[in-house]
Structure 1
Amino acid sequence: MDVKPNNAPVFNRVITDVLLVLMFIVQHRLMATRAYKELFMSFGDVALALERLVYNLTSAVSLQVMISWWQPIPDYSLWELETNQGGLLWLFFFCLHAILWLCLIFLAMSFDPLEFLGLKQVWYQLNGWRHPLFYTNKYLRRLYSKLRHPGMICFLSLLWLHPVMSLDRCLLAAALVVFVISGPGVMDGEYMYINQTVKNLNVPNSH
């Protein structure tokens, strides 16, 4: 595992990585709150159509900042398995990660990618149509409200099931586990909120 040398103290690198992870989590948490969504709703249908797109754009910026400033810490590892290329262990991890990445792609495509990114909402608004959720089956709507991160389990598996668990990788994996577990519980309130969002749309029903 080739890592660029970093002469900064390990403590400084740990603090930097922790702050970057916190920035990413706080951005996600704040922009996923009901208060944030209601703020967008208060500005009308156009703002509501942009809400998901703005969320994804800010998430992308936050992720890029984290990637750019991330500090590798190869000095310490929880475990480090020797995987000579072509060996059985190397083949095992290669196949495992290939399967997980394929599952991630499949899960992402099984949901509506354009709606997930927020592009569909903008397109519908420009054409004078109602919010895409209005045309979605109510059972699928309920599923969407419960699984907005369908590939998180796969992504966490990619982080944890790795031959080298460096300290920075462990910090990232542990933080994301806490992020997922500590998330607000999804109950009928969230589902009702989606329905209320659809009801509040006053765009003419012409598809």
Structure 2
Amino acid sequence: MGIKQVILNFAKISLCSFGLIITFYMVMDFTYFLSIPAIKGVHYINRTNDPWLNTSWALLANMALLSLFILQHSLLASNEIKNAFNAYSLQVIYRSLYVITTAGILLFLTRHWKSTPDVILWEMNLNYKPIFWIYASIHTVAWLIIYIGNICTDVTELLGIKQVYYSVVNLPDPNLRKSLQLQRLTNHMRHPSFLAFVLIFWLYPVMRAKLMCPVCAKKLPPIWCVLYMLRYLDRLLLAVILTAYMYIAWNTDERDYYYHKSQYERKYHELERLNRYSY
């Protein structure tokens, strides 16, 4: 092995290791951001004495952050970018760069997210123990489903570790070992689970909105006033945008469903047979 190859392998391993570290930190930080109610240290914009104007600026900044994440996530997942990496023989580090940029964008989002403290739509009292335990249980189970699901769907390949390892030991692309049906499924649904993410996005103890409608100046505004106010919610904006993005991006179809069903039945019968022979 020449010195050039040694340097290239060292660079691949270093990039992959950095991606693993920053991804682990991002997962912890993003989990805290989504599931732990922000009480202290909340960032918010206070440009004027007008709460509606302040809230509008906050929502505009938050929308820019969400747009940046969606642009990065969609652009790097496009076939054009993948083909460009393949054309320059950089497909080995594609996943590492993907997770590094994703982690960087999400860390930037959590640190620059602007709250809208002027307004409140609903608020759950987490000091009341039954509500706290229900909230904590649902979020814990949802995160466990996401974490375990990613581990079961080959987390080393998802993070780019397997690609770098196979390249260093001169093995072919690990994706070539996967069936076309599995490759198709992972392209249509990269991360499990849709329902768990939706629960995390929407089940939050504080959703913020103006109590006083600026149009009719009533404390209990009609439905059209409520709809007018909903655009001023920072957490509702995050829930709506990310839920819509997942719905559009995760385009599984009937073929994916039947493949997943057949693999589940196959594993079930294999475990049943092993259990029968163990007695």
The TM-score range, normalised by the shorter chain, is: 0.7 to 0.9
Partner of 2:116: 73
Partner of 1:48: 91
Distance in 1 of aligned mates of 2:116 and 2:171: 50
Partner of 2:200: 158
Q: 2:70 aligns with which of 10, 20, 25?
A: 25
Matched, 1:117 2:159: yes
- The runs of at least 4 consecutive aligned structure 1 residues that moved more than 4 Å come to none
Distance in 1 of aligned mates of 2:45 and 2:164: 47
Distance in 2 of aligned mates of 1:187 and 1:93: 32
Distance in 2 of aligned mates of 1:68 and 1:119: 27
2:45 and 2:58 in contact (8 A); partners too = no
Distance in 1 of aligned mates of 2:62 and 2:202: 17
Kindly provide the amino acid, as one letter, of the partner of residue 65 in structure 1. Answer: F
What fraction of aligned residue pairs are identical, expressed as a percent?
28
Partner of 1:126: 168
Distance in 2 of aligned mates of 1:13 and 1:142: 39
Distance in 2 of aligned mates of 1:147 and 1:132: 19
Matched, 1:146 2:191: no
Distance in 1 of aligned mates of 2:72 and 2:96: 14
Partner of 1:104: 146
Please tell me whether Structure 1 or Structure 2 has the larger radius of gyration of its CA atoms.
Answer: 2
Q: 2:234 aligns with which of 158, 165, 168?
A: 168
Kindly provide the amino acid, as one letter, of the partner of residue 178 in structure 1. Answer: A
Out of 163-172 and 62-71, give the one that drifted further.
163-172
Matched, 1:182 2:227: no
Q: 2:102 aligns with which of 59, 65, 70?
A: 59
Partner of 2:81: 36
SS in 1 for 2:122: strand
Q: 2:60 aligns with which of 15, 27, 39?
A: 15
1:31 and 1:37 in contact (8 A); partners too = yes
TM-superposition CA deviations, 1:148-182 (whole Å, max 9, x none): 02134312211202222232111111110121223
How many residues get paired?
Answer: 185
